[in-house]
Amino acid sequence: MLASAGNILMNLPESQGMFNDLGFPGWIPLPMAILKILGVVAIWVRKSKWLREWAYAGFFFNAVLALGAHLTADDHNWAGAAAIIVFVIIARFLDPQVFYKRRSII
């Protein structure tokens, strides 16, 4: 998500053109990039379980909508979105095992 947000921010005019080609308004990429960065921060900081869950949900919804947009536009760029869906699901379900593993004192 950070790579995607960075790509959008570094290439904003091209990103706006791509979104226009997919049928979305050109102003969408900037808030999307900001929200992706905030979602990653919410997951890394781990202060609020509720916020972390919504960050994962936002990433999932973003990827599902991206998959739908690419399939509808028939631009053959849908594989990345499909892979992100799988990665987000795996990351969400591995999150507790990775961060809350109990350590033995012995």
Average pLDDT, the chain: 89
Higher per-residue pLDDT: 96 or 106: 96
Give the pLDDT confidence score for residue 101 in this predicted structure: 59
Higher per-residue pLDDT: 65 or 99: 65
* Cβ-proximal residues to 55 (8 Å cutoff; 6+ apart), any chain: 38, 39, 40, 42, 43
- Per residue in 12-30, pLDDT (tens digit) is 999 999 999 888 999 999 9
| % pLDDT > 90, the chain | 72
The answer to whether 84 and 66 have CB atoms below 8 angstroms apart is yes
The residue whose two tokens read 């929200």 is 35
Residue 49: count of CB within 10 angstroms of its CB: 8
- Per residue in 57-75, pLDDT (tens digit) is 999 999 999 999 999 988 8
Report the C-alpha gap between 101 and 85 in whole angstroms. 25
pTM over 0.85: no
Report the C-alpha gap between 91 and 79 in whole angstroms. 18
